A and B are shown apart, each in its own frame.
Chain A
Amino acid sequence: MACKGLIRIAFNDNGFERKLNYDQLNYSDTVFVLKNGLKKRLESIHIEYVDETIDSLIDIITKSQSIFTMSR
């Protein structure tokens, strides 16, 4: 729950609403937010293996990217 919340905050940091829906997002924006917003947030609370975590999230998003179009 807190992890989801942190991702929402990261999106919020990058100008998105906190109440997110897949259909409001696209692949490029999501990857941008993960690489920048979420990374900064994770670093600020001293989480370990930040780069690996972000890479793994991006890999999941890349493989499931059709969800952005399919949920519109």
Chain B
Amino acid sequence: MNQEFIQYIILGPSSILSLIAGIVLILKGRRKLDKGMVSLGISYVLMICFFILWDVNFASFIINYTIIYIVYMGANFFTKYTFYEKRKNKFILISTLTTLNYIILIIPKFFILFNLYVDFILSYNGKILDNVFSITWAVIVFGWMSYASLNSYNQIKNKKIQPWVKKRLLIVTYSAFFEMFISVPDLIDILTGRIFHDYVFYIQMIMIATIMILQFLAWIMPKWLKKLFNHGYIIEKEIDEKLSEDEIIKQLTEGEKYK
């Protein structure tokens, strides 16, 4: 089987799952007025656009990097709105670093367009530099996301919250963690003189597919999976819903005596 075929087999279905997750996030986010969900949904949909353009070699590197930049900024907005609203956060710093990294990566592409420094940019060292900045780009964005979601998980892990909600937070943490290293196989490929190119290719495909499946499972969690995560958890009947206002006030003011 050639690589292109395997690429379609692996990336095709997982891209569809990711696209569905993106569309659902946008629609749900708009309905619930959740800016974080909308930005993440836009990121997912644009990521699929990137794969389509990348795969058909339709767009230039400049368009591709610009799409990725928007994807990463969407991820930054998701982290800010979901974990740090009205709270001290590093959004400005992370966004500045994301933008700087984008500029550093995009400038050589313009140079190539104008036939400047082409030898160095396409040299071994030039490619390594390009990959190192691609890795730091992802590490900045998804490192912040996975740190924020893991912190948030630690805040709620012992609280009486349905386990599937906690698991969703963990899945978001894992997928962000994997995304940090998405460009690492490319660097290994260059450093090893492309001797292990086939293996590196398969590893990267598996990484991308895993991330997309995790994203789908996190946001379009099937009922059976929610049930599985909730196994053994007793959803308390909300007795307080049935109490009248007077009964509640009486209980609060008279305390134990009322019981």
- A residues whose Cβ falls under 8 Å from a Cβ of B: 1-6, 8-9, 18-19, 22-23, 26-28, 31, 45-47, 62-72
Contact = CB atoms under 8 A, between A and B. Distances in A.
Contacts of A6: 248-249, 252
B4 interface: no
Given A6-B249, A45-B249, A64-B159, 8 more contacts: A2-B243, A5-B243, A8-B240, A64-B152, A66-B83, A66-B148, A67-B165, A69-B82
Given A66-B83, A66-B149, A66-B152, A23 B243 contact: no
A18 B238 CA distance: 11
B239 interface: yes
Interface stretch (B31-39, B60-68, B99-107, B193-201): B31-39
B28 interface: yes
Interface in B68-99: 81-83, 85-87
A62 B86 contact: yes
B37 A69 contact: yes
Contacts of A71: 161-162, 165
B85 A28 contact: yes
B248 A2 contact: yes
Interface of B: 28, 32-34, 36-37, 81-83, 85-87, 148-149, 152, 155-156, 159, 161-162, 165, 168-169, 172, 238-241, 243, 245, 247-249, 251-253
A72 B238 contact: no
A1 B251 contact: yes
A12 B253 CA distance: 20
Contact of A69 (B34, B159, B238, B249): B34
Given A45-B253, A64-B155, A64-B159, A1 B34 contact: no
B97 to A, nearest CB: 22
A34 B161 CA distance: 20
A26 B243 contact: no
28 contacts: A1-B239, A1-B251, A2-B243, A2-B248, A4-B240, A5-B240, A5-B251, A8-B240, A8-B241, A9-B248, A18-B241, A27-B85, A31-B86, A45-B249, A45-B253, A62-B86, A63-B155, A65-B83, A65-B87, A66-B149, A66-B156, A67-B156, A69-B34, A69-B37, A69-B81, A71-B161, A71-B165, A72-B28
